[in-house]
Amino acid sequence: MAALPRRIIKETQRLMQEPVPGISAVPDDSNARYFHVIVTGPEDSPFEGGLFKLELFLPEDYPMSAPKVRFITKIYHPNIDRLGRICLDILKDKWSPALQIRTVLLSIQALLSAPNPDDPLANDVAELWKVNESEAIRNAKEWTRRYAMDN
């Protein structure tokens, strides 16, 4: 395997040295391109108080292509499906090499604060969110308590 690009090393170092509040990303012992991520639910959102596990993988041509990010913890969110896949433009076509792991994770955290039911990935959730937002938020809180808090 080719050695780790300097950029990844630098990013990792910086993540360790200056962690973003509410976000922790730790590279895997055996694969430095694979990160174990924990994102706290943002305040004033239905996900407040939850600790959401994600996995983040830097593909071979990173930073020319976007990292692969996925929620491991179940989450009730219109832009995140049952498998934890995230619908976020910067992870897709809006990726830019100027973005970094930390910015991506911050974006995801922001996505939790501001669900976008108009660009849904989980259709049922998005539907409910649009139709009955309070129930949806209740569901989200429930899920957060159930899945993102007991550990």
Partner 1 sequence: MEQFEQLLTCAICLDRYRNPKLLPCQHSFCMEPCLEGLVDYVRRQVKCPECRAEHRIPYNGVQGFPTNVTLQRFLELHIEITGELPDPTSGQIMERCNVCSEKAYCSFCSHCDKKICEECKGAHMEILRREISRINNQIRRGIHRLQDTLSLVEKNTQNIQTNCSSVGEEVEEIYRRLNKALKDRTEYLRGELDKYLSTELRSLTNLKENLEQEISNILSNCDLADKHMNENVDIWDDCELMDAKEIFLKTVEFIRNFEYENSDYSRKVRLVLGHDPNQLVLHVAGFGDLNITNANSVFGQSSSLLQPPVPGLMRSKSDHRLASQFRQQEERGYGERGYGDEDQVLSGRKFGERPKSTGESRYGRGGDYGDDYDHDSRPTRSKYSSRFRRHPTTENDSDSEQTPRVRFNEHKERERTLDTEDVAKGPLSGITRLADSPRVMKKMQECESGKTKKKEDPPKPPEPKVVPKRPPPPAVRQVSEEDEISRIKKQNKGATTSTETTAEMRPAAEDRQRKTPVPEAVSSAEESEESTTVQQRKTPTKTAAATRRPSDATHKKSPRSASSDSSSTESSTSSNPIRTTGAPFTTEEVKKKILSKVEPTPPVRKAPSPVQNKPFQSRFLQNKTSTAAPQEDDEVETSSEEETETEEESDEETEKTDTKEIAKSDIGALLARSANARDNSVENIRRRSRDDTDSPSRTRYTSSREREKEEPPKYTRTRNTTVTEEEPPKYGYTSRFLNKSKSSAAIPPEEEDHSSRYSSAADDDSKYPTSRSRYMAMKERRQRLARSRSSQQFGDEDESEEAISPTSSNPSAYLASRGYGSSSSAHDLARSRSSHALKSRDNSPDRSASSATEKDGAALSSWARYLKSKYGNRSGTKDKDVTSSVSTPSASSSGAARRLSLGLPLRSSTELASSDDDSKNMQGSPTTPTAAMAVAGIAQAVAGTTPRGQYLQKCEQLFQIGSRGSEAGCFTWPRGVAVGPDNTIVVADSSNHRVQVFDANGRFLKEFGQYGNKEGEFDCLAGVAVNRIGQYIIADRYNHRIQVFDPSGRFLRAFGSQGTADGRFNYPWGITTDALGFIYVCDKENHRVQVFQSDGTFVGKFGSMGNKEGQLEHPHYIAVSSTNRVVVSDSNNHRIQIFDVNGKVLTSFGSEGSEEGQFKFPRGVAVDDQGYICVADSGNNRIQIFSPDGTFLRAFGCWGIGKGEFKGLEGVAMTSNGHILVCDRENHRIQVF
Binding site residues, partner 1, CB under 8 A: 2-3, 6-7, 10-11, 61, 63-64, 94, 96-100
Minimal distance, residue 29 CB to partner 1, in Å: 17
CA end-to-end distance (rounded Å), the chain: 35
- Which of residues 82 and 94 has its CB atom nearest to partner 1 in the complex? 94
Minimal distance, residue 80 CB to partner 1, in Å: 25
- Which of residues 3 and 44 has its CB atom nearest to partner 1 in the complex? 3
Residue the block writes with tokens 């391109």:
33
Strand order in the sheet with 51-57: 23-27, 34-40, 51-57, 68-71
Question: Which helix (H) or strand (E) is 27 found in, with range?
Answer: strand 23-27
Question: Which helix (H) or strand (E) is 56 found in, with range?
Answer: strand 51-57
The catalytic position among 87, 108, 111, 140 is 87
- Which of residues 18 and 44 has its CB atom nearest to partner 1 in the complex? 18
- Which of residues 10 and 145 has its CB atom nearest to partner 1 in the complex? 10
2 annotated active-site: no
Minimal distance, residue 111 CB to partner 1, in Å: 19
Minimal distance, residue 65 CB to partner 1, in Å: 10
d(CA 34, CA 16): 15
Show which residues are catalytic.
Answer: 87
